[in-house]
Amino acid sequence: MSKYLSITLSLLLILSCSDGADTVTEQDAKDFLAEVEEKAKTEGPVYSSAFWIQSNFITYDSQKVAADFSKRGTLEALEQARTASTFDDLDLDASDRRALNIIKNGFVMPPPLDDELAGEMASIMTELESMYGSGSHCFAEDDCYDLEAFENIIDNSRSPDELLKAWSGWREIGKPMKAKYLRMVDIGNQGAQDLGFDGLSDLWFSQYDMPASEFSETVDRVYEDLKPLYEALQCHVRAELNDFYGDEVVENEGSIPAHILGNMWAQSWANIYDIAYQEESTGKPINITKVIEDKGLTEIEMVEISEDFFLSLGFEPLSDTFWERSLFIKPVDRGVVCHASAWDIDSANQDLRIKMCIDKNEEDFSTIHHELGHIFYYQAYKDQPVVFQRGANDGFHEAVGDLLTLSITPNYLEQIGFATSEEAESAKQNEVAFLMKKALDSVVATPWTLMLDKWRMAVFNGDLSDDELNDYWWELREKYQGVKAPNDRPADAFDPGAKYHVPGNTPYTRYYLARILQYQFHESLCEQIGFDGPLHECSIYNNEVAGDSLRAMLSLGQSKPWQDALENIIGTRELSGTSMLNYYAPLKEWLDEKNQGRSCGW
């Protein structure tokens, strides 16, 4: 423990019976913040390296070292949080007050400030992550699949039996996680309460510059606006799937079974675009997967193309160490957590990396943009104090790369040599096809990204008994997504464990926010650059005005409330679904027409 911290803590102990309000000064707070800053700068990169090794080389030892770093880092952060609280009654400037609040509240899964519980928590968290990362299931001795092998089936097969086998097989990995997950939640709730929150739910939703209840109302209110669009899409896709597979696999009413939607979690349905949109009409979207194949692009070239987009907006090129130290290709000789991620190891020294097992297809081309969005956000706020080196809120961080994918228009694809002018023209002629493809990813994600944390919060709040956990997951999936389990789930199933962010403890509402924010950013930037056609035809590629406007917001990091950051880039302070609805308006009109005579809803 640092000298300053130990002095402050012992002072606290001595003075705990008296009114301590006068014992700390504004200067003490500033010294403390400087100390935290210095520590983060010197120690942060070492911790990051330990966690990088944990995810990139899953071995007994790498997990042991990571759990130890995790425990020590958390205990230190909890001590800092405690010290930060001693300045609660001081009248400080807004920036120092904000920094102290982040130090006090910026936790995801805190144990209490207790050596043993912190150790137990760190071990469970490390173990859950590695159970997911190295998860595989064997149907027979020589019939084993890891996630990527299962996904290969779910994403491409059209055989209901094969799909069901892969879908159920991957979910086997969730079962042994259940007891560990519940123990972790138990310790986490104690930790959150020690920090002054009602529990983990309160802690998670208190990180949005407004009271938790208000934030919760905001996300629900916005979804009410988006719901008619999603319901129209679900109705249409269900009808087309019913046509394709017949009543035995999917009925034309109620929820859609989750195994036939072209994604392991049914969170994006883009892989069944050919089923969802079968109109015989001129004009079809450009098939990026085919372009990647035809051009024989390597994984690294895919990343370079994405980087070029950012450079066209005026961002600095990626560093040599980004290219040397990132992981782009799934290694054959060791276990890694393949779930894509972006790492700020040491932004002061340009050590930023991505870790991804890239497949050469359109989906991963988008995900590369997503990951580079994180990287260029890190780059933009690297001169902020470390405590503010975060997204305006976590949804902003998730929205940056996705924002660029909204600019992957036929014209852009022509500009970068992915399409001839005839192909681009043809794609533009059929806006419904283009929007359908996009909506199968983006609109489909909205109820899913909303429901996941609703499940998690019910668990955090202790609303469910152990044997209700899985059923409640499916209750929410039906309620929000109109998607159901394709078979009776076994009594010991723990299906949420088969989704990375649950064992990985990554809050998920961030992706919901990102879905909405990216359209708000897009609509506003398109207006700022003087574009006045339909939103889906606008591309900010190569536009300095858009780049400057985006960077001005990104460079704020978390130094200001997110509402200020939003105002900085789009001029208004409210989260709103209107931009997304505007973007998809032509599709909604088409869906409403197609759905006439169908009985929608579930």
- Catalytic annotation, pick one of 370, 397, 522, 536: 370
Binding to ligand X8Z by CB under 6 A, coded x per residue (else -) over 297-336, reads ----------------------------------------
**Residue 533 tokens, joined:** 């056609």
Nearest residue to ligand X8Z, scored by beta-carbon proximity: 340
By three-state DSSP, how is residue 257 classified?
strand
Q: What is the helix, strand, coil percentage profile of the chain, to 5?
A: 65, 5, 30
The least distance separating ligand X8Z from the CB of residue 91, rounded to whole angstroms, comes to: 38
Q: Is 511 a catalytic residue?
A: yes
Which among ligand X8Z, Zn ion, none contacts residue 99 (Cβ within 5 to 8 A by kind)?
none
- Catalytic annotation, pick one of 374, 397, 522, 536: 374
Query: For residues 374 and 428, which CB has a smaller minimum distance to Zn ion in the complex?
Result: 374
Q: Is 397 a catalytic residue?
A: no
The least distance separating Zn ion from the CB of residue 337, rounded to whole angstroms, comes to: 14
Cβ-proximal residues to 32 (8 Å cutoff; 6+ apart), any chain: 4, 5, 8, 83, 84, 87
Q: Is 431 a catalytic residue?
A: no
Q: What residue type is assigned to position 124 of the chain?
A: I
Footprint of ligand X8Z on 428-457 (CB under 6 A): none
Applying CB under 6 A, the site for ligand X8Z has a residue count of 6
- Catalytic annotation, pick one of 67, 122, 270, 340: 340
Q: Is 501 a catalytic residue?
A: yes
Query: For residues 269 and 396, which CB has a smaller minimum distance to Zn ion in the complex?
Result: 396
Q: Is 362 a catalytic residue?
A: no
Which among ligand X8Z, Zn ion, none contacts residue 310 (Cβ within 5 to 8 A by kind)?
none
- Catalytic annotation, pick one of 129, 299, 307, 398: 398
CA dihedral 448, 451, 457, 459 (to 10 degrees): -90
Footprint of ligand X8Z on 357-416 (CB under 6 A): 367, 370
Footprint of ligand X8Z on 250-279 (CB under 6 A): 267
| 8 Å CB contact between 172 and 137 | yes
| 8 Å CB contact between 161 and 70 | no
The least distance separating ligand X8Z from the CB of residue 391, rounded to whole angstroms, comes to: 11
The least distance separating ligand X8Z from the CB of residue 508, rounded to whole angstroms, comes to: 7
Binding to ligand X8Z by CB under 6 A, coded x per residue (else -) over 505-544, reads ------x---------------------------------
With 0-12 / 13-18 / 19 or more C-beta atoms within 10 angstroms meaning exposed / middle / buried, residue 27 is: exposed
Least Cα distance to 352 among 305, 303, 298 occurs for 303
Q: Is 371 a catalytic residue?
A: yes
**Residue 294 tokens, joined:** 């035809």
Which among ligand X8Z, Zn ion, none contacts residue 340 (Cβ within 5 to 8 A by kind)?
ligand X8Z
Q: What's the Rg (C-alpha) of the chain? A: 24
| 8 Å CB contact between 259 and 164 | yes
Q: Is 259 a catalytic residue?
A: no
Cβ-proximal residues to 459 (8 Å cutoff; 6+ apart), any chain: 182, 185, 469
Which among Zn ion, ligand X8Z, none contacts residue 352 (Cβ within 5 to 8 A by kind)?
none
Nearest residue to Zn ion, scored by beta-carbon proximity: 398
Q: Is 370 a catalytic residue?
A: yes
- Catalytic annotation, pick one of 137, 339, 522, 536: 339
Which among Zn ion, ligand X8Z, none contacts residue 341 (Cβ within 5 to 8 A by kind)?
ligand X8Z
Cα–Cα distance, 374 to 72 (Å, whole number): 26
DSSP letters, 51-117, are HHHHHHS--HHHHHHHHHHHHHHHHHHHHHHHHHHTTTTS---HHHHHHHHHHHH--SSPPPS-HHH
**Residue 529 tokens, joined:** 């650059």
CB atoms within 10 A of CB 38: 12
Q: Which residues bind Zn ion (CB under 5 A)?
A: 398
Q: Is 340 in the site for ligand X8Z (CB under 6 A)?
A: yes
- Catalytic annotation, pick one of 230, 511, 512, 519: 511
Active site residues: 339-340, 370-371, 374, 398, 501, 511
Residues interacting with ligand X8Z, by CB under 6 A?
267, 340-341, 367, 370, 511
